[in-house]
Amino acid sequence: MRTFGVEEELLIADPVDGTPLALATGMLDVAAGSGKGPDESPTLKSEFKQEQIEVNSRPCSKASDLREEIVLGRALADSAARAVGARVAALATPPVFHATPTLGNRRYAAMGTEFGLISREQLTCGFHVHVSIESQDEGVAVLDRIRHWLPVLLALSANSPFWMGADTAFASYRTQIWNRWPTAGPMDVFGSAEGYRTVLAELLATGVPMDEGMIYFDARLSRGQPTVELRIADVCLYAEDALTIAVIARALVETAAGEWRQGAPPSNALTSVLRMSNWRASRFGMGDQLLHPLEQVPCPAADVVGALLRHVRKALTGTGDLGTARSGLARILKRGTGERLQRQAYARRLRLADVVSAAIATTNQDGQRSDVGLARR
C-alpha cells in the first residue's frame, strides 16, 4: 500500500482582530522546547511568510492514522501559537491583510528582492499531499495521467474568498494570487523521467526560477522524497476535508500508475484548457459548474465529483478508503467548503474579524481529542 502524508500551511492570527502576526520563529522556538522529536508527532516548519506555519505529517499507510496526524498537527501548531499570543487558522488567504515583507528565511528574502510585490502579497496557505512512488519513471507517468483531474481537488478544497479586506467573488482566490509565480499552474505531458528533467533544466536555464524549489507545478516530483506531490489545493478549513482530499489523491496516483503499467496513454487535454478548468474551479468551487475532466465541457459540480469517484473507485476499494471518500465527498457537497463558512461568518455582522474567529474555532475543533491522542503517545 502506498504511503501518504500531508503538508498544511496555517495562518498565524490575532484571535481578537484577525490580523496576521509574524510569529513563526517564536512558535518554532516553543515547539523546539517541547522535547518531542520528529518521530513522535507531526512537525512544524517555517514557510514563505513569518505569518504562516507549515505542519508536516509523518508518512502513513492508513487513513485513520493520517487523520490523527492532521488533528495532532493542528493542535501542535495552535499550542505553539497560544504560547506567543496568537492562534492558527486554516485559511488559504487572510481576510484581514496588507502586503508585508516579513519573509521566512534568507532564500525567501532573496525571492522577495527578485519578485517584488508578488512576494510581498504572497501570504497564501496551501495543502500538499505526498504519495509514495516506486521510481521517477512511475512518478512522471502519474503526473502525466492526473493533470486533468487536479482542478476537481482545487474545487473540493476552495477556502479563500476574501483578499485585502474584500470579498473577491472567487471561491479560491488563493489560486489567482499563487498563479502570479511564473512556474505555477498545470503542466504539459512530460512523457518520461528524462522529459521531466529536460523541462526543469530548460526552465532553470531561463534564470527566472531561482532554483528547483521554485518549480511550482500543480503536481510535481518531490525533490527530497520518493513521492509525487499534489500541490493544487487550498488548505482545508475542516480537517475531515483534508483527509478526504488526501485519500482521493492517493487513489488518483494508484489509478494513474495502473494505467501506465497497462499501457494506457495520458490525457490529451491541452494545458491551455486545463488553465480554464483551474480558473473555473477557483472562481466557483463547488457552487456551480466545473469542467468535466474527460470532456472539458461545463458540468454540474456534483456530476464531476461523481466522475472522479468512479475513476478512483477500484483504488479506494483496495486501500479500504471507499467509505471514507464517499462520506467525505457527500459532506462537502452538502455543507460546502471553507469558503461558504467564511462568507456565512462575515454575513452575520459584516466583520472580517468574525471570519477569522470562526476559522480558528473550526480549525481547532478537534483539539480536545488531539490532547487525548498526545497523552496516549
> By three-state DSSP, how is residue 179 classified?
coil
Average pLDDT over residues 308-323: 98
Three cell numbers written together for 326 = 464517499
**pTM to 2 decimal places:** 0.95
Q: Give me the pLDDT at residue 156, please.
A: 98
pLDDT for 311 beyond 90: yes
Domains of the chain: 4-376 (3.30.590.20)
Of the candidates 127, 270, 252, 274, the one whose C-alpha atom is nearest the C-alpha of residue 186 is 274
Average pLDDT over residues 292-319: 97
- Residue in this structure with the C-alpha cell 476552495, named with its chain if needed: 158
Please state the length of the chain. Answer: 377
Average pLDDT over residues 89-100: 90
Phi and psi of 83, rounded to 5°?
Answer: -65, -20
Residue 207 CB burial class (10 angstroms; 0-12, 13-18, ≥19)? exposed
Phi and psi of 13, rounded to 5°?
Answer: -135, 155
Q: How far is 282 from 219, CA to CA, in rounded Å? A: 16
- Say if CB 102 and CB 51 are below 8 A apart: yes
User: Tens digit of pLDDT for each residue in 329-354?
Assistant: 999 999 999 999 999 999 999 999 99
Q: Write out the DSSP string of 234-256.
A: EPPSSHHHHHHHHHHHHHHHHHH
User: Tens digit of pLDDT for each residue in 208-261?
Assistant: 999 999 999 999 999 989 999 999 999 999 999 999 999 999 999 999 999 999
Q: Write out the DSSP string of 307-322.
A: HHHHHHHHHHHHHT-H
User: Tens digit of pLDDT for each residue in 263-286?
Assistant: 999 999 999 999 999 999 999 999
User: Tens digit of pLDDT for each residue in 133-185?
Assistant: 999 999 999 999 999 999 999 999 999 999 999 999 999 999 999 999 999 99
Q: Give me the pLDDT at residue 280, please.
A: 98
Mean pLDDT of the chain: 94
Residue 224 has a CB neighbour count (10 Å cut-off) of 6
- Say if CB 166 and CB 173 are below 8 A apart: no
Of the candidates 68, 60, 67, 1, the one whose C-alpha atom is nearest the C-alpha of residue 316 is 1
Phi and psi of 230, rounded to 5°?
Answer: -90, 120
